[in-house]
Amino acid sequence: MLTTTVSITLTSLILLAFVIIFNTVHDPLSASIGFSLLGCVITWRLVPELKENFIKINLSGKDLNKINKPVIPESMGIICATVYLICLFLFIPFPFMEWFTDKGKVITRREEFHSPTFPHHKLGEFLSAMLSLQSMVLLGFVDDLFDIRWRYKLLLPTIASIPLLMVYYVNFGETHIVLPIPLRFLFGGYIDLGYLYYLYMSLMAVFCTNSINILAGINGVEIGQSLIIAISIAINDLLFLNGSDPAVEAHLFSLYFIIPFIGVSLGLIMHNWYPSRVFVGDTYCYFAGMTFAVVGILAHFSKTMILFFLPQIFNFAYSVPQLFKLVECPRHRMPKFNPLTRKLEFSKVKLQKPLNLPTLLSLKLFSTFGLIKIMENNVNNIDKKKIIDDDKKDLDYIEVNNFTLLNLILLKFGPMNERTLTICVLIIQVLTSCLAFFIRYRLVHLFYEII
Amino acid sequence: MLTTTVSITLTSLILLAFVIIFNTVHDPLSASIGFSLLGCVITWRLVPELKENFIKINLSGKDLNKINKPVIPESMGIICATVYLICLFLFIPFPFMEWFTDKGKVITRREEFHSPTFPHHKLGEFLSAMLSLQSMVLLGFVDDLFDIRWRYKLLLPTIASIPLLMVYYVNFGETHIVLPIPLRFLFGGYIDLGYLYYLYMSLMAVFCTNSINILAGINGVEIGQSLIIAISIAINDLLFLNGSDPAVEAHLFSLYFIIPFIGVSLGLIMHNWYPSRVFVGDTYCYFAGMTFAVVGILAHFSKTMILFFLPQIFNFAYSVPQLFKLVECPRHRMPKFNPLTRKLEFSKVKLQKPLNLPTLLSLKLFSTFGLIKIMENNVNNIDKKKIIDDDKKDLDYIEVNNFTLLNLILLKFGPMNERTLTICVLIIQVLTSCLAFFIRYRLVHLFYEII
């Protein structure tokens, strides 16, 4: 009975999606919503169907934050990303439909084929964006399979962003940045960053992909944060649709990528929400990050985009001492599951004394801001007579929480259920998005003239 | 000592590649050769280094045609394809260098950015070709991992070719075909295929990718045949370079894709030649096939391309009865290894009597042309008294060789060593390439006017 209802609902949703797509030949935005719906339903349906295949080839992992530590499939982001890419492939002709129908004479008159009216540069933007995106999906999947080294994780997104930068160069080539008012007395109104601007954009790709990947590890948090960022981007785009022509085009472009992204992510989160039946893997994180980088770069709102990434930026900055080995970094920094209370607690790392200078400085800095908790190991409590000298040396250590946002939340608010922790992160993400909109649309006059 | 010599050679080759690339800012063809050399060396170096990682995640298979059936890594085509894609990413700016350097003022003068002089449509061709190619690499790798079903294997290349067809539509839109002279009395000189032409092109993508995939299974044969096709394409392209302008551009485009392909394939075949240390997987076959489809479509020589695929077309037509289940098709149709003689023999399939009509017709047709060998199972030789009726029924069968080119060669020339069989296939490929050139450049006046 239930399955019949489900299949009827599914079929009607798919039919609805097709009706939307076929009735919107001249309205790509609606077509995009149709594809988003289609992507959502297909992802939702495919994930449980293909689960077993992933487990069969050992693409699976233990969910350590559960009592019975169930083994569930990993890297299911590849399904969601593949559905997304297929949707976008099928969507490509829609924004160009007017050249195919109204101006349909191009089909029959040979000399008009190379007619300058067709916006080849727009098509180029689409293709380059998809190429960069697909490269990152491939890279993420390979990373899930082989655990590639950090240095490649930084190098490969840079290479993946080449088509994007190339198209940026030939379509816009704008490398001036408008300086905020408070800085103008120093450098003037504009600065031409030149090639540095391309470096900035490719670093953006590296940052977006990796920053989501390090704010991860509990059920639903990867997709949850990505969904909130995506929705914020969509709202921001919608705010521009009544504006001037070039801005409308850019933000439409952004919507064409973001709307289907929201669809497939919703399809996947239904299986990844607490308690997860599937993990999403690095594939999803890279896919999501690159989608944001692509629209941020090609729709020219990379500064606003950075505002939507505030929790990720904080988490990255907070992680720096461990990422760069100033403080010892264990293999996993995920919160620790306490089977007695069934709650998550912050995980700790042991630091052997004597501490070296970088460690001491990092600890000093972060404890000043109350961001870490240092626990001294009280050797005096232990019966000293039983300890021989070597052992005593081993016991001479301190403990500190791992430097991640998740552990910090647990440190400040105490142990909590995994779902609650995810919700906490998502609330923070929503609040910072509100802050981002406030900065972008209310505080902006302090820094820039409003045109 | 040996390793020192190898690393010195490697380093000098890489240096040479960089020297070529950096000294050819205005000659993309030479840069392409530099990237090809670089791709070759890197692929050759990476494959043995990453072998263990593939075996670790069970991407490995037994080489059944060897005495000790060693387990060797599978799907190493992904390394070769990734190196190829990275080379092409880095190569993208080269064909457009004149717009970046001589006409370098575009960097500083804002109004010239959208200048119509920049060949956005050419860049679009590049990007769409790479997008389609990369999609097939991703699909091939997923196929290697999950063994996806036949129907998807046919559907997905069609979707992967959408960007290609889209760019074809807006850049050329040509759907007329010139009819061969003997047919003109029926249909006239031209036929406009309209949308059928796009169907033809997407079928071309499906055919190229799958036809290489079914002429496979012995050491070195997948890369060997692809290399000969690629070299034939390159020779054909070079023949056009002194011609008229649009043809030169199209064939240069083809060379930019084919030259690095030859490089990375050479790097991989050194490990895949008999006795193989690695298998190449479906990934390589799809990657190779799509490269050919892409250049055939976008450089407008799909008819000539088909001529280079004669052995694959024959193998496909010959396989049709088994592929479409008219005749029973076992899981593997590879030749059989005889450990006593250490040679390969043709493999057989048992057909239970009574045979159904499609099977009978297929056997009749192929045996008329001497393409199969039917072996009657002589029940009379066996002591009939010992056989109860049921068993007798089981014994009532005939055997026939599996319908593949490899088995046909073994049927005609007798058992042979695996390496000899590969060389036989490659000789056939070379001979048909010669035939293809003969048809294209000597017999063509019987069918078309030479312009």
Distance from CA of A195 to the nearest CA of B (A): 10
Please enumerate in sequence order all residues whose Cβ is within 8 A of that of A149, keeping only pairs 6 or more positions apart, or say none: none
Phi, psi of B346 (to 5 degrees): -70, 140
Instruction: Supply the Cα-derived Rg of chain A in whole angstroms.
Output: 25
Concatenate the DSSP letters of all residues of A196-256 into one string: HHHHHHHHHHHHHHHHHHHS--STTHHHHHHHHHHHHHHHHHHHHTTS-HHHHHHHHHHHH
Cβ separation B167–A124 shorter than 8 A:
no
**Which token pair is B438?**
């003969």
A134 touches chain B (CB under 8 A): yes
From chain A, pick out residues whose CB is under 8 angstroms from the CB of B172: 113
Residues from chain A contacting residue B169 (CB–CB below 8 Å): 100
Give per-residue pLDDT as tens, A161-210: 988 888 888 887 778 777 777 778 887 778 888 888 889 888 999 999 99
Give tens-digit pLDDT for A225-256: 999 999 999 999 999 888 777 788 899 999 99
Does A163 contact B at CB distance below 8 Å? yes
Any CB–CB contact under 8 A between B58 and chain A? Answer: yes
Assign B378 a pLDDT band (cuts: 50, 70, 90): low
Residue entry with tokens 């798919």: A14
Instruction: Work out the minimum CA distance from B418 to partner chain A, whole angstroms.
Output: 30
User: A120–B116: do the CB atoms touch at under 8 Å?
Assistant: no
Q: In Å, how far is A309's CA from the nearest CA of chain B?
A: 28
- What average pLDDT score do residues A387-415 get? 81
**Burial bucket for residue B273 (CB in 10 Å: 0-12, 13-18, 19+):** middle
Query: What are the tens digits of pLDDT across the range B9-35?
Result: 889 999 999 988 888 878 899 999 999
Question: Are B171 and A123 within 8 A, CB to CB?
Answer: no
> 3-class DSSP state for residue B297?
helix
Task: Reply yes or no on whether the pLDDT at A80 is more than 60.
Answer: yes
In this complex, do B92 and A127 lie within 8 Å of one another by their Cβ atoms?
no
Q: Minimal Cα distance from A172: which residue of B?
A: B113
Q: Residue B450 — pLDDT band, cuts 50, 70, 90?
A: low
Rg over CA atoms, chain B: 25
B 59-88 residues with CB < 8 A to A? 59, 78, 82, 85-86
Q: Which residues of chain A make contact with B96, given a CB cutoff of 8 A?
A: 170
Region of poorest pLDDT, from A98-112, A126-140, A410-424: A98-112
| Cross-chain CB nearest to B107 (options A128, A141, A173) | A173
Q: Inspect the interface and report whether the beta carbons of B170 and A99 lie closer than 8 Å.
A: yes
The candidate with the shortest Cα–Cα distance to B228, out of B276, B288, B273, is B288
pLDDT tens, residue by residue, B389-414: 555 556 788 899 999 999 999 999 99
Q: Do B57 and A146 touch (CB under 8 A)?
A: yes
Write the residue in B110, B134, B169 that is nearest to A131 by C-beta: B134
Residue in chain A lying closest to B175 (CA): A107
B235 touches chain A (CB under 8 A): no
The tokens describing B30, both together, are 């030479």
Q: Are B292 and B299 in contact (CB under 8 A)?
A: no
Cβ-nearest to B138 among A92, A106, A134? A134
Contacts of A420 (CB under 8 A, 6+ apart): none
For residue B107, give the chain A residue with the closest CA: A173
The pTM for the full model equals: 0.89
Q: What percent of chain B lies above the pLDDT cut of 70?
A: 91
B58–A170 C-beta distance less than 8 A: no
C-beta atoms of A138 and B137 within 8 A: yes
Q: What is the pLDDT of residue A112?
A: 44
Task: Identify which of A89, A100, A171 has the shortest CB distance to residue B159.
Answer: A89
- Segments making up each domain of chain A, as ranges: 4-319+424-446, 323-417
- For residues B92 and A124, give the distance between their C-alpha atoms in angstroms, rounded to a whole number: 13
CA distance linking residue A205 with residue B211, whole number of Å: 38
Comparing CA positions, the residue from B351, B344, B394, B402 lying closest to residue B373 is B402
Phi first, then psi: give them for residue A72, nearest 5 degrees: -130, 155
Inter-chain CB proximity A127 and B167 less than 8 Å? yes
Q: What is the pLDDT of residue A118?
A: 81
Beta B176-178 vs B190-192: how paired, if at all?
Answer: antiparallel
| Whole-number pLDDT of residue A281 | 92
Q: Check whether A337 has a pLDDT greater than 70.
A: yes
According to DSSP, residue A402 is labeled: -
- By C-alpha distance, the chain A residue nearest B60 is A57
Length of chain A: 451
Q: What is the mean pLDDT of residues B338-349?
A: 93
Give dist(CA B242, CA B247) in Å, integer: 9
Question: Is any Cβ of chain A less than 8 angstroms from the Cβ of B106?
Answer: yes
| A131 in contact with B, Cβ within 8 Å | yes
Flag whether pLDDT at A109 surpasses 50: no
Mean confidence (pLDDT) of chain B:
87
Q: A137 to chain B: which residues are within 8 Å by CB?
A: 138
How many interface pairs between A and B have CB atoms less than 8 angstroms apart?
A: 125
- Kind plus residue range of the DSSP H or E element containing A4: helix A2-22
Judged by a CB distance cut-off of 8 A, whether residue A142 touches chain B is: yes
Contact B162 A138 (CB under 8 A): no
Considering only the beta carbons, identify the residue of B124, B131, B173 that sits closest to A120.
Answer: B124
Q: Which helix (H) or strand (E) holds B35?
A: helix B28-56
Q: Are A83 and A46 in contact (CB under 8 A)?
A: yes
Burial class of residue B417 in the structure, from the number of CB atoms within 10 Å of its CB (0-12 exposed, 13-18 middle, 19+ buried)? middle
Would the pLDDT of A106 be above 60? no
Q: Count the helices and strands in chain B (H runs, E runs).
A: 19, 9
Distance CA A274, CA A293 (A): 28
pLDDT at A108 over 50: no
Distances (CA, A) of B42 to A142, B48, B265: 18, 11, 11
What's residue A114's pLDDT? 46
| Contact status of B205 with chain A (Cβ, < 8 Å) | no
DSSP codes of every residue in A56-96: HTT-EEE-TTSTT--EEE--THHHHHHHHHHHHHHHTTGGG
A159 lies within 8 A of chain B by CB: yes
Report the greatest alpha carbon distance in chain A: 98
Three-class SS state of B307: helix
Rounded mean pLDDT of B98-127? Answer: 64
Instruction: Find the mean pLDDT for residues B303-314.
Output: 94
Judged against a pLDDT cut of 70, whether residue A212 lies above it is answered with yes
Mapping DSSP onto H, E and C, the string for chain A reads: CHHHHHHHHHHHHHHHHHHHHHCCCCCHHHHHHHHHHHHHHHHHHHHHHHHHHHHHCCCEEECCCCCCCCEEECCCHHHHHHHHHHHHHHHCCHHHHHHHCCCHHHHCCHHHCCCCCCCHHHHHHHHHHHHHHHHHHHHHHHHHHHCCCHHHHHHHHHHHCHHHHHHHHHHCCCCEEECCHHHHHHHCCEEECCHHHHHHHHHHHHHHHHHHHHCCCCCCHHHHHHHHHHHHHHHHHHHHCCCCHHHHHHHHHHHHHHHHHHHHHHHHHHHHCCCCCCCCHHHHHHHHHHHHHHHHHHCCCHHHHHHHCHHHHHHHHHHHHHHCCCCCCCCCCCCEEECCCCEEECCEEEEECCCCHHHHHHHHHHHHCCCCCEEECCHHHCCHHHCCHHHHHHCCEEEEECCCHHHHHHHHHCCECHHHHHHHHHHHHHHHHHHHHHHHHHHHHHHCCCC
At B112 the pLDDT is 44
A133 at B interface, C-beta within 8 A? no
Q: Do B166 and A93 touch (CB under 8 A)?
A: yes
**ipTM for the complex shown:** 0.86
Q: A93 at the B interface (CB within 8 A)?
A: yes
CA triple A184-A189-A194, angle to 5 deg: 115
Whether residue A148 lies within 8 A of chain B, CB to CB, comes out as: no
Query: Cβ of A138 and B134 within 8 Å?
Result: yes
Q: How deeply is B16 buried, as exposed, middle or buried, from its count of CB atoms within 10 A (0-12, 13-18, 19+)?
A: middle
The answer for B 243-302 residues in CB contact with A (under 8 A) is: none
Residue A387 predicted with pLDDT over 70: no
